[in-house]
Chain A
Amino acid sequence: MDDIEKELLERKKQLDEIKAPDELEGRLKLALDAAPVTKKVMPKWVMTIVALFFLSLVSYNYNGLAYYGKKIIGFDDLMGGTLAELNEEGMGQTIGQQVVLEDGSQLTVDGIMTDANQLILYYTLSKVKDQEDITFAKITGFLTDSNRGAGTSMLNEEQSEIKGELFFDPVSPFAKKLMLEFTKLTEGGAFMSGSISFPYDPNKAMQTEIKQNIKKKVKVDKGKINFKTITATPTVTMIKGTVDVENLDRVQLPFDKVELLANGQSVELLGSGITSSLGGAKFELRFSALPKKLDSLELVVNEFVGYTTVNEQIPLSTTAEQPFKMNGYDLWVKDAVKTDAGVEITIATDEDVLLDDVSVEGQDGIVPLETTLRQNYETTENEKVVKVRTLLFATDALPDTLQIKGMHHMKAVGEKIEIPVK
């Protein structure tokens, strides 16, 4: 090694003294929390459960119905239909516990609703200034360590108050006092963590309506789904089971086409989560609450993620207006350009399509896909949501064709399971 290299290494040693600032972790956490998961409402993520690993793919849709809650007041715009009705009936617990944070803003736990499936919490953060964000990790208490699932919040017009609805795992019926943990970004960019305690009356938790085993397996293209239990409470209907499907993570919402029919009517799918654990992947599907008078209950797997070999050659002269038909799906080639990095091809497909084994062919021969650079969801003129992404190929010459060997997509299954309710 010569002097120059020694000098450089010496300098590296000095640089190695520089450590990342302590607030980095908090900032990254917030950035991740704010990252969009699905297309409709910004969902928040369900967190880890001790040794089990994690929950993914959570999506939530809200009805935003105009019920006027008289019990927990001021959350009309956030509460969905069922929850608003329950609140109207006085099924929630008003709390009104407040805490003033270091930066002068004020956090209020307005009320909660609990049952065997979940805890729903309503909060208000007032006297906020611009650029402030608050996140909630979990609720703790006696025999209780409930991670947060989805959440949604709204800022008022004056931008001085945030009202939010948070969903947590259920809390223990033995807990008398609960503690909500939060982290808040202050104006100066620092993070402060804290907690607020409030009393809890387990006797006010809503009664479970149905809790039974399903124990039915459904075979799908690349594996099987094992539906195990159903727990219906006044706030939500939860179906749990395990899933062993090779390409499960290849579409964003593999359970999107699983339908619950109550009295022959479809019950709205609120969200789905998949946790991979030591024993394989577990899933939970959250549907709306069931009707009070229930005659029949059926679970239908209309479609599930599968795989199709296509072996298509798509000429890059295909224009954006005229889609290429592939296995009944449309594929649009929107753009193909040469950049410093190589050739970038922008394509659009239905949102459930993930292409497999992609390459281009041209004068440089066959060049495999290097990486995908960007991905967005767009809505077309006829209200269809398409997935647009830019593929990068390490070649200098614009190729002639795009080659696609296969695709992961939602495939028809059409299996029906009857769940006895009487």
Chain B
Amino acid sequence: MKVVRLVKKAKKGSKEALLQLIMDQRDDYYRLALTYMGNENDAMDAMEEMIVSLYMNIHQLKKEAAFYSWSKTILVNSCKQMLKKRQNLVLVDEWDSEESAHDPYLQSEQHMEIQEMLTIVNEHQKEAIQLKYFHDLDYETIAEMTKVSVGTAKSRVFQGIKKIRKQYRGEVDG
């Protein structure tokens, strides 16, 4: 398996292999970083931090096949640390205005609705829902990233969706 082979090379110190692993899923990483950082430049900064951190710590990764969930967890940590440093917690709400150039669908009704929906739920639920639905991550990984148990991660998604559903249905049907 290609990923395992590359991870093994990266573990032995190959920067090329590590870079290739990241570049193979660059859009996924980038979108994930963008969700937290809110703009292109900061998202790339976070990815720089991530890749250095991966390079320094990859020998500690035991399951090669888990590289992507492991590295994405590190990316989320890097993002959060950077945000904490700046004490400037921006989540998706604010990046819309700055990122219009990157989002061809920004102006669509549908999009606005989703953003509105997400304002109903709390910050934790929103983060979990975004990770689950927008970044296609499994609950184990979401739990790792948000430093909670798998059960909590699941419940945040379910409770969040439930809350939105209730409100949304209420409005539409009502």
Contact = CB atoms under 8 A, between A and B. Distances in A.
Interface string A12-25: 10111111110111
A88 to B, nearest CB: 35
B11 interface: yes
Contact of A28 (B9, B17, B48): B48
Given A21-B44, A340-B147, A32 B134 contact: no
A7 interface: yes
A47 interface: yes
B124 interface: no
- A contact face: mostly helix, strand, loop, or mixed: mixed
A344 to B, nearest CB: 12
Contacts of B17: 53-54
Contacts of A25: 19, 23, 26
A50 interface: no
B82 interface: no
Contact of B12 (A20, A54, A340): A54
B139 interface: no
A372 B60 contact: yes
A28 B103 contact: no
B59 to A, nearest CB: 7
B16 interface: yes
A48 B134 contact: no
Contact of A35 (B9, B41, B52, B103): B52
B48 A56 contact: no
Interface residues of B, number: 50
A294 interface: no
A330 interface: no
Nearest to B172: A3
Interface in B70-122: 102-105, 108, 110-111, 113-114, 117
Contacts of B108: 14
B13 A45 contact: yes
A418 interface: no
B165 A2 contact: yes
A30 B19 CA distance: 11
A230 interface: no
B159 interface: no
Given A31-B48, A341-B147, A18 B31 contact: yes
B36 interface: no
A32 B52 CA distance: 6
A51 interface: no
Nearest to B15: A32
B60 A8 contact: no
Given A4-B117, A54-B14, A249 B59 contact: yes
21 contacts: A2-B165, A5-B161, A8-B114, A9-B133, A11-B111, A11-B133, A14-B104, A14-B105, A15-B31, A17-B104, A17-B105, A18-B102, A24-B47, A25-B19, A25-B23, A35-B55, A53-B17, A274-B12, A274-B13, A340-B147, A375-B56
Interface of A: 2-5, 7-12, 14-21, 23-25, 27-35, 37, 45, 47-48, 53-57, 189, 249, 274, 276, 340-341, 371-372, 375
